[in-house]
């Protein structure tokens, strides 16, 4: 089935461009075409010009070589951002 991101746009597989996924668990979907897993807790698209805001109580982790890109900027308002195990965050 197709999934939408926070901007109500179809999530596209980063590997093959397919829009068809199956649900693995609450936070992961898997591409039915090539098997790539996508973490749905952080889905940011290239056409997002809004700031990402981590609010009080939010606990965001970027791990396992995940490369997260944010356009616009990042505001941390009391939540935590943890980057480990090869994860990276690119802002700009
Ligand atoms: Zn795919």
Tell me the DSSP string of the chain: ---B-TTS-B---TTT----EEEEETTEEEETTT--EEETTS---TT--SPEEE-TT-EEEE-TT-EEEESS-EEESS-EEEE-TT-EEEE-
**Which residues surround the ion ligand 1 when the cut-off is CB under 5 Å?**
13, 15-16, 18, 31, 33-34, 36
- What is the pLDDT at residue 57? 72
What is the predicted pLDDT for the residue at 18?
93
pLDDT at 49: 52
Distance 56 CA to ligand 1 centre (A): 34
Q: Return the pLDDT at 56.
A: 72
Mean pLDDT per segment of 10 residues, for the chain of length 92 residues?
75 90 86 89 53 72 78 72 80 70
User: Could you tell me the distance, in angstroms and rounded to a whole number, from the CA of residue 37 to the centre of ligand 1?
Assistant: 8
Residue 42, pLDDT score: 59
């Amino acid at each position: 089935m197709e999934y939408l991101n926070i901007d109500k746009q179809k999530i596209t597989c980063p590997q093959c461009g397919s829009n068809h996924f199956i649900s693995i668990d609450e936070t992961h979907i898997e591409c039915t075409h090539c098997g790539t897993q996508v973490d749905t807790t952080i889905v940011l698209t290239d056409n997002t010009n809004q700031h990402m805001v981590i609010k009080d109580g939010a606990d965001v982790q970027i791990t396992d070589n995940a490369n997260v890109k944010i356009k616009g900027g990042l505001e941390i308002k009391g939540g935590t951002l943890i980057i480990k195990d090869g994860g990276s965050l690119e802002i700009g």
